[in-house]
Amino acid sequence: MGARAERELELKLRNTRAALINMLRDAEEDRRQLKEKAEELENKTRKLSQTRSAILNMLKDMAENKKKTENAYQELKRTQSQLIQSEKMATIGILAGGVAHEINNPLGGILIHTQMLLRKTRDRDERRSLKLIEESTRRCRDIVRSLLDYSRKPGLNDFRSLNLNKVISDACDMIHYEMEDRNIKIEAEYGSIPDIKGNSNELQQVFTNLILNAEDAIDETGKPGKIIIRTYQEDRYIISQVIDNSSGIPEENLKKIFDPFFTTKDVGKGTGLGLSIAYRIVEKHGGEINVASKLGEGTTFTIKLPVGENEGKDFGRG
Ligand SMILES: Nc1ncnc2c1ncn2[C@@H]1O[C@H](COP(=O)(O)OP(=O)(O)OP(=O)(O)O)[C@@H](O)[C@H]1O
Ligand SMILES: [Mg+2]
């Protein structure tokens, strides 16, 4: 190779080397930029995922708050309807008490005079009519008596220490022969519960009515049934439940069952006073009575009574 050709080759090589170096530099720059972009992207992704979890937390908080608000609203609604109910019952109590008081004396008169006539007359038709009058008057008198009980200003000095299990078992003893004719089983699940302060006669009346109601409801189904009675302690409360497996209470009646005179029973069978009296008695004991029912499945009445110093409450006529 000539000297000239050698020089040309060297020049070409040098140029190629320079071009290669430039290319490498460019590639290095591209790599650096790419790395920067990748880091930037990574940062953005990190920030995005942080924002995402912050939003998720916010959504969770919002859902919780919504639930809390809903619960508070439900609680408020329940308290309001209880207030309305107790207000309504106090008013009806005053009214019914006044009327009952007025009716009580004439009824006594009718009864005494009917009985006097009964002693005198031998005529069969007359005696049958008089017996009918006597029976109807007695029934009226019983209703008036329960009305007077209902409107009576609760006396608080008759509160004594008592055990609810004993009260309930006394109530069951009182009505157990009623149930033997009917095909109804009572299952009592008594929990170990502390004594409370209260009026055992009145509380017994509450459970008697709840059990008799459950029996009537089971009877209506025409099938054998079961009543479960349960007591247990929950925090500072004694919970007692009367549960039946009858056909339940329709939604539209649930709001009315504690109203005085609301009854679905035949004339002469129910006066519709049982639950309103029960409501009042439980309220007087500083407790609550609630009902839950499912059509075709049955009904649960739940009574919540406070444990400990139960001073009771003063309701009704001032
Ligand atoms: N366990 C129950 N199952 C189905 N319905 C019930 C139950 N308890 C109460 N009820 C309904 O509530 C109504 C009112 O009950 P409440 O005890 O106040 O009156 P009553 O039983 O009809 O009459 P009273 O108790 O004065 O003899 C009943 O007529 C019945 O329709
Ligand atoms: Mg009843």
pLDDT, tens digit, 9 for 90 and up, residues 248-267:
999 999 989 998 889 999 87
pLDDT of 311 reads 44
> Which ligand has an atom closest to residue 89 CA?
1
pLDDT in tens, 173-216: 878 766 667 788 899 999 999 999 999 888 998 999 999 999 99
The pLDDT mean for the chain works out to 89
**Å from CA of 275 to ligand 2 middle:** 6
The set of protein residues with a Cβ atom below 6 angstroms from ligand 1 is: 209, 213-214, 217, 244, 246, 249, 257, 262-265, 270-276, 299
Q: Tell me what pLDDT residue 174 has.
A: 79
Substitution site in 186, 208, 213 for ligand 1 pocket (most atoms within 8 Å of beta carbon):
213
Closest of 283, 260, 284 to residue 92, by C-alpha: 260
Share of the chain above pLDDT 90, in %: 64
How do residues 83-128 score in pLDDT, each as one tens digit?
A: 787 777 777 777 777 888 888 889 999 999 999 999 999 999 999 9
What Rg value do the Cα atoms of the chain yield, rounded?
A: 41
Q: What is the pLDDT of residue 139?
A: 86
DSSP calls for 47-67: HHHHHHHHHHHHHHHHHHHHH
Ligand 2 centre to CA of 126 (Å) is: 34
92-116: b (≥16 Cβ within 10 Å) or e: bbeebbeebeebeeebeebbeebee
The pLDDT of residue 121 is 95
Q: With bands split at pLDDT 50, 70 and 90, how would you rate the model's confidence at 315?
A: very low
Which mutation among 215, 254, 257 tests ligand 1's pocket best, with the greatest number of atoms within 8 A of CB? 257
Q: Which two tokens stand for residue 176?
A: 């157990």
**Torsions phi, psi of 189, nearest 5?**
-120, 85
- Residue ranges of domains in the chain, CATH in brackets: 157-318 (3.30.565.10)
Instruction: Determine which residue's CA is closest to atom 25 belonging to ligand 1.
Output: 274
Q: How far apart are CA 76 and CA 90, in angstroms?
A: 21
Residue owning tokens 């001032």: 318
